[in-house]
Amino acid sequence: MNDLLKLSAFEIAAKIAKKEISPSEVLEIHIARIEEVNPSLNALVEDDFVRARNLAREQTEILAKDNSSLPPLFGVPFTVKEMFAYEGMKRTGGSIHHKNDVMSWDATVVARMKRAGAIPLGTTNVPELGFWFETFNPIYGRTANPYNLTRTCGGSSGGEGALLGAGATPLGLGSDIGGSIRMPAAFCGVFGHKPSRGLLPLTGHFPYEREDFEKMTGGKYPYTSSGPMTRKASDLYEVTKILMGADEYDRETMKNPRLGEPTQKWAGRKILICPTPIFHRARLVEDEMAQVVRNCGKLFEELGAEVEELDSRFFVRATELWFAAVGSTRMVQFHEKLMKGEASPTKIAQEIFKVALGRGDYTLPSLLVSLGELFDSGKKDPFEEMAALQKMKHELDEKLGPEGLLLLPPHPRVAPKHRAPLWSPFDFIYAGFFTVTGHPATVAPMGLNSEGLPLSIQIVSRHMNDHLTISCAEFLETTFGGWQAPASLRDD
């Protein structure tokens, strides 16, 4: 593997600024890596190599003339989750009803990356409508995990996770409502940050148009959050700063947010650990994932932190509360989005039969979610559920204190085999719950297990303590090694 593919985005930018390497050379190294690994992964679903090469050529010419005032990510390639608007590229959301949708404008986070000098390489694969933690859909097919092709890369930002894990892109744009940044990061051995609620704008995310944000305010604003995914922890803080803050459309994003300064001071800090949290309906944590959390707890204790174990049943009702919160913001039901208003039990049963025959227009997880939605007669009082959610959030904040951290698994196991999540569909809640509470949450890789699959940890803190979760991820990277290229893709 080319040594450039082991660097952070800002290390690459620094080499470019010093004229040690040109934007065109950087781009070609990454394109070559994508062309090497993508036939196996199916992670990049639409490339933008022609425009990327033209832009890199222009930047190389600019660099030759004057390198004194370059934007921070000048010449650095990046990839974009297919659910973001990206001018000239498709935004299908993995839905057959949107398979020909080509965008004429950029999502705000895409535009901000471009203004920072970064060069988009193309779009990456997602689940159907982004609503599953495996990445496959009727348009582009299935994406594999770079550490083991028989296993899932996670979802919904699964294409991003797979390319990052394979060393084919230094950073990417993901989004997260049920752990959709953090599960792919965990499964693919990279870093993912779900920012504090309201820190990054959502403008341009599937299925929304700009004018939709006039109605999406207050209690109708989605819990979805945009966020960065990187192969190096050191990129998370600066990329978040580039992406954060309001635009002219998304009224629920903070206008002038300020992140705290990064820190490496752990003595005296409150650290909560929860190695084996219990979530109703979800699997229990496997030993190797729990041990990662315990090891980190011991490490911080040795550094003088105030380490305390959180009651494993603290989050037991989180699954129900997540569904209540997400459901409270929906203006259109999932089955209506999936089938364009044509859903009925009979229609869904017919589509499930077609899937069984290998010629369905929809994926089985989406059909099962739709069927469950139509037959859901046990809904609880939404006001009571939202009150319970706020109570749990308040209690967690009280336990954390102003600058504490919570360490827990992002998932109960390492990357499952393809289709295995169908048998434990609620496992997403380990990561997903912190989207509806609004807490910042960062996932960091913690080495490989005996099968060569990534282990990981999730770091959570109070709202707007993004600098603390990211700082912790950076510290753990220096201590445990961070991202490691998959053995099957190394050439050393």
Measured distance CA(492)–CA(423) in Å, rounded = 38
DSSP secondary structure letter of residue 271: E
* Strands annotated E in 390-491: 405-408, 441-448, 454-460
Set 22, 180, 366, 456: catalytic member: 180
Strand partners, 460: 406, 441
CA angle 188, 158, 293 (to 5 degrees): 40
**Alpha-carbon gap, residue 174 to 243, rounded angstroms:** 12
Q: CB-side exposure of 387: number of CA atoms within 13 Å?
A: 5
Q: CA 149 from chain center: how many Å?
A: 20
Considering only CA atoms, which of 331, 325, 274, 329 is closest in space to residue 437?
325
Q: ∠ CA(413), CA(126), CA(134), 5° rounding?
A: 25
Name residue, tokens 């050439």: 491
- Distance CA(255)–CA(251), nearest Å, equals 9
Residue of 22, 156, 175, 225 with catalytic role: 156
Interatomic CA distance for residues 427 and 410, integer angstroms: 9
Cβ atoms within 10 Å of 113's Cβ, excluding its own: 25
Structure tokens at 188: 């693919």
- The tokens describing 382, both together, are 């939404």
The span from the CA of 274 to the CA of 187, in Å, is 20
User: Which is nearest to 351 in space by CA: 333, 341, 339?
Assistant: 339
Which position among 22, 24, 81, 194 bears the catalytic label?
A: 81
Listed residue (3, 38, 457, 403) closest to 233, CA to CA = 457
Is-catalytic flag, 81?
A: yes
The Cα–Cα gap between 436 and 277 comes to 18
Phi, psi of 481 (to 5 degrees): 100, -15
Q: φ and ψ at 187, to 5 degrees?
A: -70, -30
Distance of alpha carbon 410 from alpha carbon 293, whole angstroms? 10
Q: Is 424 part of the annotated catalytic residue set?
A: no
What phi and psi values does residue 403 have, to the nearest 5 degrees?
-135, 35
* Annotated catalytic residue 234: no
As annotated, the active-site residues are 81, 156, 180
